[in-house]
Amino acid sequence: MKTRIRGRYVVGFDTEADSHAVYEDGELVYEGNTVEFVGRGYRGEVDEEIDASDCLVTPGFVNAHSCMDISTFQFFFDVVRERRRGYSGDTRRRDLFSGERDHVFEPDEIRDGALLSFLNMVRGGTTTMAGITSYPFKAHNDPLWEPEIYMEAALAAGLRAYLSHMYRDRVDGVVDRNKGREGLERAVDFVEKYHGAFNDRIRGLLFPYTLDSTSRETLRETREAADALGVGIRMHFAQFPDEIHLLEQEYGMTPVDLLEDIGFLGEDVLLTHCLYPAGLEPEARDRDRALRILAESDTSVGHCPWVLIIRGSGPIYLDSMSSYSEAGINVCLGTDTFPQDMIAEMRWGAIMAKTAHGRRDGVGTAREVFDAATVNGARWLGREDIGRLAPGSKADINIIRLTDHNVGPLADPIRNLVYFGTGHNVRTVIVDGVTVVDDHRHLFLDEERVVRASQPVSDKVRDTLIRWDDEGTLPDEMPPPAYPIL
């Protein structure tokens, strides 16, 4: 069936200019799962018309780093929190994982948490996501069954998903190379089984969890496996001071130098957060050199502004995504934790950059963050058929209301979207040619049931963190009510 969308504005992609372009009173025509036409004056016959005359039509967002389970961060607002406080490195957690049981949550609980996360994503306009999992509630690796649950939940939510097994070989300071190899083998098995499955809606990635929790040997083996499989790699990278201290003590190297030394970097690699690539207090020349290495290797950086704000990170490079972009690095945008709102994430990214540079012009622009949410994520994934709307691209489409009160009088549709919009303004989401969200409602999920089912999982997260807290402070502090609840 051939469908035409008539929009007040339609964001097409100019392949010659390698840039998005906005068509006022534009049209988009797609048939099946493929875009046929973007522009004005389409003369062919169509089977269906969609009226988006009060809307902005955009490509679906590419969420390059999105938490698939119930995040722990929602419990740490307004709380003084150091890294791993309350859920890692303490005796109770070690005792729990010293026996046969290596995880906290059961399959049904994982599914309930994932459905809320995926519903949150797609309702806000994410059509392609690269998922992560929270590490506190498992020992070294994801349980063998866990990624398949995420796959089933993503398909139920209508998403295009990049999934993998998380693995590492260092937990609480103890290195177990066998666990690293086991996790990598599980990851390779998952990719071989599901990469390209379900009409190519599911693809695989390799996911060594963090630089400081994965040995050099496992990272080398990851690089070799990715090359053999032809898939990408994603990793949390250079995000905490104690991570940097560990690398300096063990290897005498900065994070970027370590990855360059083992031949890990490349156009298929996403390093998320990347806050201290040249160490904690580098000279300007060392900082510039680290960014140059990333740029020249075509390595992408994943920026998740909201999670940096809520955890109160100190002075860091990625306060300004523009510093990375100006160095020639491909910066992708991700939500990381709840809520999974890519439109709000664009705004936070823009504001952080403008604040870091102390000016509003030329940094953190609407164009920069919109690219980060669309074509840049697609570029890391090696895709020219998502994150853009052009003939031959996938029919991954958002229809976003411009007449909602919060969007305000229009000056420029992209600026209005970035600086005033939220995921609630997304009226319709089409993934692979299938309408998944319409009139602000998911067509295949019972939204109320999904939200209700997630509450016991969230409660268990909180209770588990409190039980593991050796200091005994979390019951009073987490979460702190804004006012007494009577």
- pLDDT tens, residue by residue, 451-462: 999 999 998 988
Q: Which residue has the higher pLDDT, 128 or 87?
A: 128
Does any domain span residue 181? yes
The residue out of 358, 380, 402 marking a domain boundary is: 380
**pLDDT higher than 70, residue 284:** yes
* In a shared domain, residues 195 and 311: yes
* Band of residue 134 on the pLDDT scale cut at 50, 70, 90: confident
Q: Which residue has the higher pLDDT, 355 or 229?
A: 229
Is the peptide bond preceding residue 475 cis, with omega within 30 degrees of 0? no
* In a shared domain, residues 107 and 151: yes
pLDDT score, position 474: 56
Does any domain span residue 474? no
* In a shared domain, residues 158 and 281: yes
In percent, the amount of the chain with pLDDT more than 70 equals 90
Q: What's the mean pLDDT in 8-20? A: 97
pLDDT score, position 87: 41
* Band of residue 471 on the pLDDT scale cut at 50, 70, 90: low
The residue type found at 469 is D
- What's the CA gap between 260 and 408, in Å, rounded? 47
Read off the pLDDT of residues 206-245 as tens digits, 9 standing for 90 and up: 999 999 999 999 999 999 999 999 999 999 999 988 899 9
pLDDT score, position 102: 75
pLDDT score, position 193: 98
Can you tell me which residue has the tokens 């952080």? 352
And the tokens for 329? Answer: 């690095």
Does any domain span residue 448? no
Write out the residue range of the structural domain in which residue 412 sits. 2-59+388-442
Distance (Å) of CA 309 to CA 77, 335, 348: 10, 12, 9
* In a shared domain, residues 119 and 12: no
Q: At what angle do helices 177-194 and 146-157 cross, to 10 degrees?
A: 40
Residue 361: how many CB atoms within 10 A of its CB? 8
**CATH number where 97 lies:** 3.20.20.140
* Band of residue 281 on the pLDDT scale cut at 50, 70, 90: confident
The residue out of 380, 398, 426 marking a domain boundary is: 380
pLDDT score, position 96: 54
pLDDT score, position 371: 98
* In a shared domain, residues 122 and 147: yes
Does any domain span residue 313? yes
Does any domain span residue 372? yes
* In a shared domain, residues 149 and 14: no
- What's the CA gap between 36 and 40, in Å, rounded? 12
- What's the CA gap between 68 and 66, in Å, rounded? 6
pLDDT score, position 304: 94
* In a shared domain, residues 51 and 66: no
Does any domain span residue 32? yes
- What's the CA gap between 32 and 392, in Å, rounded? 11
Locate all alpha helices (DSSP H) within 253-408, ordered by sequence.
255-261, 284-296, 305-310, 321-326, 342-357, 366-373, 375-380
In percent, the amount of the chain with pLDDT more than 90 equals 76
- What's the CA gap between 413 and 417, in Å, rounded? 6
pLDDT score, position 479: 62
**CATH number where 21 lies:** 2.30.40.10
- What's the CA gap between 59 and 7, in Å, rounded? 13
Q: Which burial class, exposed, middle or buried, applies to 406 when counting CB atoms under 10 A from its CB (0-12, 13-18, 19+)?
A: exposed
* In a shared domain, residues 148 and 73: yes
Name the average pLDDT for the chain.
Answer: 91
And the tokens for 402? Answer: 């411009």
Read off the pLDDT of residues 47-103 as tens digits, 9 standing for 90 and up: 999 999 999 999 999 999 999 987 665 666 666 554 444 344 445 555 555 666 678
pLDDT score, position 478: 62
* In a shared domain, residues 221 and 354: yes
pLDDT score, position 100: 62
Q: What are phi and psi of 24, to 5 degrees?
A: -75, 140
- What's the CA gap between 407 and 398, in Å, rounded? 16
And the tokens for 238? Answer: 């250079």
Q: Quote the number of domains for the chain.
A: 2
Q: What's the mean pLDDT in 167-185? A: 89
**pLDDT higher than 90, residue 476:** no
Residue 154: how many CB atoms within 10 A of its CB? 26
* Band of residue 317 on the pLDDT scale cut at 50, 70, 90: low
Does any domain span residue 307? yes
* In a shared domain, residues 22 and 159: no
* Band of residue 446 on the pLDDT scale cut at 50, 70, 90: very high
**pLDDT higher than 90, residue 140:** no
* In a shared domain, residues 287 and 416: no
Q: What's the mean pLDDT in 436-441? A: 98
SS3 441: strand
Distance (Å) of CA 354 to CA 288, 359, 412: 20, 5, 19
Does any domain span residue 204? yes
* In a shared domain, residues 115 and 160: yes
pLDDT score, position 309: 82
Q: What is the CA radius of gyration of the chain?
A: 22
pLDDT score, position 151: 98
For residue 7, what are the β-bridge partners?
26, 52
pLDDT score, position 15: 94
Q: What's the mean pLDDT in 143-167? A: 96
Residue 339 has, within 13 A of its CA and on its CB side, a CA count of 16
- What's the CA gap between 479 and 463, in Å, rounded? 11
The residue out of 406, 421, 442 marking a domain boundary is: 442
Residue 255 has, within 13 A of its CA and on its CB side, a CA count of 32
Beta-sheet strands, E only, within 159-201: 160-163, 166-167, 170-171, 174-175
Q: Which of 305, 299, 262 is nearest to 277 (CA)?
A: 299
Contact indicator for 30, 49 with CB cutoff of 8 Å: no
Contact indicator for 221, 256 with CB cutoff of 8 Å: no
